[in-house]
Structure 1
Amino acid sequence: MGTRGTVALLADGAPVDVPRDAARDAAHEELRKAVYHQHEPGIVERVMDWIGRQIGRAFDGVAAPLGGGGNAALVVLLVVLLALAGLAWWRYGAPRRAARSDGSLFAGAEGPRSAARHRADAAAHAAAGAWADAVRDQMRALVRGLEERTVLSPRPGRTADEAAAEAGRALPRHAAELASAARLFDDIAFGERPADEAAYRLLADLDHALGRTRPTPVPAGGGPA
């Protein structure tokens, strides 16, 4: 390097004097090329790092009264998570599983029973305030009654949805009510929806109304006669 504001370079083996300012500018220009920055974090990574630092500072500030450190930060994190869970519970209620549409209507029943027996069991459950059991037996009574009247052909493993769809074709005036009854049964029997007296009464009233309706019998294939 020269002593009078120049830099000594070699060009084809011959010394060349370059002014210091020009050499500095050339070096800056060279370092601006992308090849020297290809391994640096991108804008997204820099933003995420900044957010992470801000969250860390916030936790450090809240955890300071607890003595700081990792344990204090963990306590703060748990408190925040519990608060969020409580807010979600208050806003949306207890989580419920979706009703299963493949559940057999008579799954868990103690052997074949007549419609009258299912109605009697439903009434006994209702008297005891066991509304979920009352809804199950009342829906079974409704479908068994349709089978006994040959509106439906008996078929093991039939679901409430299937029974409602088949019966709705033979009883078109009650098709919508039957579909609603099947969804109600599924929600209570398989979806953990709380049962109540209103649900039981709805099924009992529909069962009574269907008993006074003259249907068009549905053959084993499920189509119109």
Structure 2
Amino acid sequence: MGLAVGALLVAIPGPPLAPEGDDARRWAEQELSDPAYAAAQPTAFDRIARAIGDFVADLLSAQLPEGVGSLVALVAAAVAIGVIATAILVWGVPRATARSRRVPAELFGEAETRSATQLRADAASRASEGEWEAAIVLRFRALARGLSERGIVDPPPGATVHAFARRAGRSFPASAAELEAAAGAFDDVRYLRRPGTAELYRCVAAVDDAVAAARPVVHDPAGVPA
């Protein structure tokens, strides 16, 4: 029976229990490529916290006079708090800012990813070529995108230009009539196919400039009803 079991074990194929150099290196690379190892790596904040802890431990473990030890501990604690606060400012604030400045990729029912600055530049380019319809549409979109970037009025998908103008008018009451007129100009050239003019473009551009330079009376980042 013992001989039969031994023969059976020899016949079963499998990896060598003591792999040679190339096999061992390949196995190690495969094992370390597991995402679990990457997830277990300490972050930059972890390394900073560990360094602070080691620094404080070294200070407290040093042989110091009785009165000086408490003072050193207080100084070390203040330094640690300052470093942690700095790390939070450096690594925490940019992420929050990026979220607050995120704008939707749709504007008045159409895909639009350009910034307000880009839309204004494109509108000016079309105006310089006498393409007033396109210039008016682009400049009104620049107005809406600018207020969205500032977090004042954020038109949701499906919002109409007049609903946007009413909401913007509540934040900028001094320009409420001009905002409604600009929305009417957008509707005329975009949907009713009426010809645009230089005067209409100047009106839209003027209210965009006025709103961009003004402070809102009511800061309301909620969406605009359709």
Q: What is the TM-score of this pair, normalised by structure 1?
A: 0.49
> Which structure has the greater CA radius of gyration?
1
**Would you tell me which structure has more helix in proportion to its own residues?**
2
Q: What is the TM-score of this pair, normalised by structure 2?
A: 0.49
